[in-house]
Structure 1
Amino acid sequence: MKFRNLIIKNIFRNKSRSLLAVFGIAIGVAAVVGLGLVTDNLSASTQKALTAGAADFSVISGNTGGGGGSPEGGGGPSGGGSQQLINQTTVTEIQQISGVANATGVLRTNIDLSDNSTSDSNSSNSTSESANPQGQGNFRMNMYSVIGIDSSDLSMDDIVITNGTTYSNGNEVIIGETAAQRLNKSVGDTLNISNQTFKVVGTYETGNFMDDQGVVMSLSKLQNLTGNTGEVSLILVKAADGTSATDLADTIEQKYSNELSTSTSLSGMDRMNNGLDVINSGSWAVSLLAVLVGGIVVIVTMMKAVSERTREIGVLRAIGWTKQRIMTMILGESLVLAVIAIVVGLVVGIGIVEIISATHLMMGIEPAFSAYLLLKGIGVALLLGLLGGIYPAYRASRLAPTEALRYE
């Protein structure tokens, strides 16, 4: 009988013992593959769900001083600002940088819309920052954020239409839910801004209190109102799939050294990534525990097999089998069991994840199939088979023929 045929035959001599070994290894494979299908794509799925098309970070001017308006909206259209605006051509330049999926310019300012709460008549002080200092505190209570951005890029600024539609021309605006309540405005009403009348065509939410207490219009219209033609307060940037937003931000800062800087909003993404790292670490811990359990099951099973075949091993040694040949036989049996367990583990691991995914118990998370993950599962099985068989094989090879033959 050929040596490899003997190894396969020995496996099926005790089916229950072999099934126990296969079960132990399959647990490790199923855990590694099943958890990997979820966690390997968890970071991307979570990031996609959280951002949902929003910009990853913003770019602002790195120079401070007078001139222009403030990106924070500190002055009205005619007011000064503590930070310079950015030439709109820079938006196109950043869009051309490798790794940038989208870049859009945004102009921001603050305007007093208090008169609009009761009337659409002319508001003489609607855009003036030089109001009477005596009434400055009162004045700021009536300041509203006005944002200029192309309607096609609203999602970049986390602006979600809650009612009505977005603006399609320069005389239309959308108003934040908070501002709509304070000004008693709804879809179809008109709003007077800088002595011009605008139609409210929709309401929006961003989740940011300051932005929800504001109005959004087309970028070109706000540029005309403020006299900042061809300039923006900030540039929203979204990284392409597979591109690190942090690395991309560093690239932009290096390219425009002393001219532009990126916002600190990436700290929120960093915290999210740190949380995902904890989840991944937990997944690895569970996988390693499953592998440990599988390894113990294999070792116990193979040790039992060696113990039951002590006389057989003694006979083989007596007829001239070497220690190396005995070790090879035991290790071969363990590896064959591992190969069988690979199939079982992959089917179980993938099957469970697919069933859970089909029942929508993992909303927003899609299993991430990859050759690397399958190779990792196969590697775990072979490693368990090898490690689980080394000690039993060593013990078998160390049996003295005379002692083994007397074993009952």
Structure 2
Amino acid sequence: MSFLKFILKNPFRRKNSAILAIVGIAIGIIVIVALGGITEGLVNTFEDTIHAGGADFTVSGKETGDSAYGTNTISSNWTDKIANVSGVDEAFPIYVVLTSVGDDYMNTLIGIDPNGTALADISMKEGRIFEDNSSEAILGEIYAEDNNYSVGDTIDIDREEFKIVGIYETGDQNMAGGVFTSISKVGDLMDDEDSISNIYVKVNKGEDPQTVANRIDSQYGDNITTVTSVMEMTQMADMLNMLQASTWAISLLAIVVGGLGIINTMLMSVFERTREIGVLKAVGWSNRKILTMIVGESLVITIVSAIIGSLIGFAACTILGPQIGIEPLFTPKIFIQAFAIAIVVGIIGGIYPALKAVRLPPTEALRYE
């Protein structure tokens, strides 16, 4: 048997110990991958919101709440107030709700004035824009394809029949699977004509969006918040920093727990194989070769754990994320980080037991029963 095959097979001679070690480390990897996917998804969502469509910036509620954007809805009369601020060219409100659409119990319904759709970063692929205050809707290309809808079909929205008059495409992932209709119609459906979620703002030609946003903040900053493409909202930035710090903190905890687990497993392995190590030394194995064997076995366990943990973390987030309103985003960086952590844990966890093994005098090891 080659040295490599020996290293690959040896950790699983003690199945119970190997399984416990793999489970412990895999849990840490699951946490790292899952939190990484969730954090990346939230970052992507926030960035999509910050860089909202063709608008220069958006205005939203100051307080957190249960709206689709994570803030409280605001009164529709804010639209006129914002429109009258010096430097503002256009201001269009949107009302985003989660309601029954077609066969979906919950989907995103976006209400906007037909004249404001240009600020929402959507373009018509087929058909036309809906008319104001009508039972007409346009569907995102992805939603239409997934549910076999075409222009001219009808769709039930909150138990009311709407005619599909267009299919749109967009670069905003949050809207690609949604449905647009008139904001006045959404107000009717929700029985809440005085509430809106956000306001899309376009500034006059030649105006600096940052300056106009600051102007709005100085006038109304106690009640509303501006989110511009050149200035991240402090609340969102702080939230992202907290999410990323939490991810690293939990990852560090996973490293410590995983490292202790693998050290314990490999120490037990060395203890149980004291006589075997003595025999290997007696037949000529060098300290370097024994050290390589122990660290190699440790790496085998942690890499297997990384594979299992990555698969479970990915599957769990993909399945459960949408159920709680989170769209995880997995990048190669997340999996590279998970495997890098597993390798570091494997090396660190194997070095101390390996050093214990190479320091065993052959004669003493051979006497061990």
Q: Which residue of 1 aligns with 2:289?
A: 325
Q: Which residue of 2 aligns with 1:403?
A: 364
Q: Which residue of 2 aligns with 1:235?
A: 203
Describe how 1:269-348 pairs up with structure 2 within 5 A: 269-348=233-312
**SS of structure 2 residue aligned to 1:324:** helix
| CA RMSD between the two structures | 3.9
Larger radius of gyration: 1
Equivalent-residue separation in structure 2 for 1:72 and 1:12 (angstroms): 69
Equivalent-residue separation in structure 1 for 2:202 and 2:318 (angstroms): 44
1:164 equivalenced with 2:133 (yes/no)? yes
Q: Which residue of 1 aligns with 2:348?
A: 387
Describe how 1:191-230 pairs up with structure 2 within 5 A: 205=194, 207=196
1:362 to 324, 327, 345: 324
Equivalent-residue separation in structure 2 for 1:261 and 1:50 (angstroms): 16
Change (3 A) 1:396 1:273: same
- Cα deviation, 1:315-367, whole Å, max 9, x if unaligned, reads 1112221111110110111112222222211221112112313xx4321x212
1:372 to 330, 333, 344: 333
Equivalent-residue separation in structure 2 for 1:236 and 1:16 (angstroms): 70
- Cα deviation, 1:101-153, whole Å, max 9, x if unaligned, reads xxxx3399xxxxxxxxxxxxxxxxxxxxxxxxxxxxxxxxxxxxxxxx95444
For the 8 Å contact 1:22–1:341, the answer to whether it is kept is yes
For the 8 Å contact 1:342–1:381, the answer to whether it is kept is yes
Q: Which residue of 2 aligns with 1:35?
A: 35
For the 8 Å contact 1:28–1:380, the answer to whether it is kept is no
Change (3 A) 1:33 1:208: closer
Shift of residue 283, structure 1, vs aligned partner: 2.2
Change (3 A) 1:262 1:403: farther
Shift of residue 407, structure 1, vs aligned partner: 2.1
Q: Which residue of 1 aligns with 2:211?
A: 261
Change (3 A) 1:236 1:348: farther
- Cα deviation, 1:31-84, whole Å, max 9, x if unaligned, reads 1111111111212224546886583538xxxxxxxxxxx98748xxxxxxxx6x
For the 8 Å contact 2:50–2:57, the answer to whether it is kept is no
The one-letter amino acid paired with 2:234 is D
Equivalent-residue separation in structure 1 for 2:305 and 2:340 (angstroms): 12
Change (3 A) 1:236 1:395: farther
Shift of residue 308, structure 1, vs aligned partner: 0.7
Equivalent-residue separation in structure 2 for 1:107 and 1:281 (angstroms): 36
**Alignment coverage as a number of residue pairs:** 249
- Cα deviation, 1:280-308, whole Å, max 9, x if unaligned, reads 21122222212221111111000100011
**SS of structure 2 residue aligned to 1:55:** coil
Structure 2 residue ranges without an equivalent (≥5): 59-80, 93-113, 122-129, 136-183, 188-192, 215-225
For the 8 Å contact 1:41–1:366, the answer to whether it is kept is yes
Describe how 1:98-247 pairs up with structure 2 within 5 A: 105-106=89-90, 150-153=115-118, 164=133, 205=194, 207=196, 235=203
- Using structure 1 for the length normalisation, give the TM-score: 0.52
For the 8 Å contact 1:25–1:385, the answer to whether it is kept is no
For the 8 Å contact 2:53–2:119, the answer to whether it is kept is no
- Cα deviation, 1:182-237, whole Å, max 9, x if unaligned, reads xxxxxxxxxxxxxxxxxxx988656599x9xxxxxxxxxxxxxxxxxxxxx96179
For the 8 Å contact 2:262–2:349, the answer to whether it is kept is yes
Equivalent-residue separation in structure 2 for 1:151 and 1:340 (angstroms): 53
Change (3 A) 1:47 1:388: same
Shift of residue 263, structure 1, vs aligned partner: 2.0
Q: Which residue of 2 aligns with 1:170?
A: none
Change (3 A) 1:107 1:44: closer
Q: Which residue of 1 aligns with 2:98?
A: none
**SS of structure 2 residue aligned to 1:7:** helix
**SS of structure 2 residue aligned to 1:341:** helix
For the 8 Å contact 1:26–1:344, the answer to whether it is kept is yes
Change (3 A) 1:398 1:56: farther
Structure 1 residue ranges without an equivalent (≥5): 59-69, 75-82, 87-104, 109-148, 167-200, 212-232, 238-248
Change (3 A) 1:236 1:8: farther
- Using structure 2 for the length normalisation, give the TM-score: 0.57
**SS of structure 2 residue aligned to 1:339:** helix
Equivalent-residue separation in structure 1 for 2:291 and 2:309 (angstroms): 26
**SS of structure 2 residue aligned to 1:12:** helix
